[in-house]
Amino acid sequence: MTISVIVAVVFIFFLASLARSTLGFGDALISMPLLTFVIDVQVAAPIGQMVSLTIALFILASRWRNMDFRAARRLIIAAGVGIPIGIFVLKNAPEALVLFILGMVLTLYGLYSFFALQASTSKETVDGNKAQTDKLAYVFGFISGILGGAYNMSGSPIVVYGALRKWSPDTFRSTIQAFFLMTSSFTMLGHALGGLWTRPVFTLYLYSLPTVVLAVFLGGWCSQRIPTPFFTKLVYGFLILIGVFMMVRVF
């Protein structure tokens, strides 16, 4: 393992962790495509999950009071039901078709939301939206579990759900981290049982850890200074990027 590879991996995880700690998601969108240029996927995937779990623990340790506990519980329970179905989908459904449809849906939703007129922000409207979307946590959690079990892409439906709920940036980041904590733990267990925990994985993770921690604190500082309307636009913008990336990946 050369110094240039180590430096590249550390820098990639710094950028990915900064995005994740600022917005609450998006690290895999940045890290995985870039990491495949310098290291094997079998090394990149386990490190990515370790970093994901680390970020979730750090954010929740300081901001767990902002979490929507009821929504997080429903999302996690529903995802647990969906994961085995996702594994079945992985074995039987055409990956390209599923990824293209999902990417198209995310892109269209992101574009619509990004350019839509601002909805009323009165208390009655917010409460009404919350009542209408509260039980949808089971639906979005279930879809997320299927996508996570099939293609390791559980985050996108949770991001859409958070946008529908109109969570504040703090609630958005904290609640999503609770969900990622669960999914990353299960994925890491699978990696361990599959023999993917190798010496290069732990070596690169330990090299990356200091900059990951630095990025978490920088991202937390940035997120506190981003106005809520701009934060919402950033979320929708990232959804568009994820959707486009998924469609391009098919080809």
Per-residue pLDDT at 90: 64
**Do 150 and 89 contact (CB within 8 A), yes or no?**
yes
DSSP 38-78: TS-HHHHHHHHHHHHHHHHHHHHHHHGGGS-HHHHHHHHHH
HSE-CB of 153 using CA atoms within 13 angstroms: 20
Q: What is the mean pLDDT of the chain?
A: 81
Would the pLDDT of 32 be above 70?
yes
Rounded Cα gap, residues 143 and 70, in angstroms: 18
- Which residue in this structure is represented by tokens 């929740």? 60
- What φ, ψ does residue 38 adopt, rounded to 5°? -120, -25
pTM of the predicted protein model: 0.73
**Do 4 and 202 contact (CB within 8 A), yes or no?**
no
- Which residue in this structure is represented by tokens 């997120």? 223
Residue range of the domain that includes 141: 3-250
Q: For the chain, how many structural domains are there in total?
A: 1
pLDDT tens-place string over residues 96-110:
777 787 788 778 877
Rounded Cα gap, residues 169 and 128, in angstroms: 20
Would the pLDDT of 128 be above 50?
no
pLDDT tens-place string over residues 220-234:
888 888 887 778 788
